[in-house]
Amino acid sequence: MASGAVALVTGAGRGIGRAIALRLARDGYNVALNDIRRDNGLENVRREIRGMGREVIECIADVSKESQVKGMVDSAVKELGGLDVMVANAGICVAKPFMKSTLKEWDQSFDVNGKGVFLCYKYAAERMIEQGRGGRIIGACSQAGKQGADVLTIYCATKFVVRSLTQTTALKPHNITINAYAPGIVDTAMLSKLKEDLKSFVSTPILDALDTGTPEQIAALVSYLASKEAQFVTGEPEPTFSFELK
Ligand code: ADP
């Protein structure tokens, strides 16, 4: 990693995005932190990163809005001097079976998890190609993007999109790699909400019987995918953390 390299992490206020932002800062990156809300932990993450001696900015933006994604990428480039790593992490999860799922939930989920990742990949790639110094684009897939789960109909569909988008976005001539991480069950606020949402659909507490991973384990994978060692890893939705029943 060149000194002064810049990473932009979406959904960085909490959970996996927070852990990724902190890890990349520890790895030496200056970091642009995105979230849709300012009051969602972003300020604390910013303070921690500043304490590590890195440059850090906040970019409040909704990743499902094209002009906001473009603005966020422009700010990172302008204020931090470029863009070397884009982590399209922000996402939402609707935990419902097919017949309970609504069109509104479908649209909202695809806006953030599908369109949001597409826009982040696209505007990051555009800037990285312009810069001509290569780059790393990393997206949030999931085990739900590899295997259907009948209580996660819409969520699975959105993550299948991230998986195929990542596999089909080849930018090898530009020395830009595009990969995605595919976690199983990770201990974040999203998991707490998912357990709550599923209570009315799942009679046994199946989720309590699952072994959970930590956001820091996912951040370690992202750190690798962003590194020089991962230069020849691209189009991979397979780097995986699969969690087994205890
Ligand atoms: P995870 O388990 O993936 O970490 P969380 O729900 O804990 O899930 O975190 C997801 C993060 O993504 C939150 O900080 C949330 O505010 C953010 N987020 C959700 N939707 C958007 C969006 N449209 N634009 C930017 N950030 C978003």
CA distances to 3, 43, 62 from 113, rounded to whole Å, are 32, 24, 11
> What is the percentage of the chain residues whose pLDDT exceeds 90?
72
At residue 9, the pLDDT reads: 98
Cβ 14 under 6 angstroms from ligand 1: yes
Which residue would you say has higher pLDDT here, 202 or 178?
Answer: 178
* Orientation angle between helical segments 116-131 and 66-80, nearest 10 degrees: 40
Cβ 188 under 6 angstroms from ligand 1: yes
At residue 170, the pLDDT reads: 75
pLDDT of residue 3 exceeding 80, the answer is: no
Nearest atom (ligand 1) to Cα of 112: 23
Cβ 17 under 6 angstroms from ligand 1: yes
Segment 149-174 shows an average pLDDT of: 90
Ligand 1 mutation target, pool 92, 185, 217, most atoms within 8 A of CB: 92
Cβ 213 under 6 angstroms from ligand 1: no
Q: How confident is the model at residue 206 (pLDDT cuts 50, 70, 90)?
A: low
Q: Is 121 a catalytic residue?
A: no
Nearest atom (ligand 1) to Cα of 189: 7
Which residue has the least CA distance to atom 23 on ligand 1?
62
Candidates 233, 232, 221; CA nearest to 24 is: 221
pTM of the model: 0.94
At residue 205, the pLDDT reads: 61
Cβ 62 under 6 angstroms from ligand 1: yes
pLDDT of residue 241 exceeding 80, the answer is: no
Active-site entry in 29, 115, 121, 159: 159
DSSP output for 6-54:
EEEESSTTSHHHHHHHHHHHHHT-EEEEEES-TTTTHHHHHHHHHHTT-
Task: State pLDDT tens for residues 39-94.
Answer: 989 999 999 999 999 999 999 999 999 999 999 999 999 999 999 999 999 999 99
Q: Is 224 a catalytic residue?
A: no
Strand partners, 7: 31, 85
Active-site entry in 70, 155, 224, 228: 155
Segment 203-214 shows an average pLDDT of: 73
Distance 174 CA to ligand 1 centre (A): 30
Q: Where are the alpha helices (DSSP H) in 81-182?
A: 103-109, 116-131, 153-168
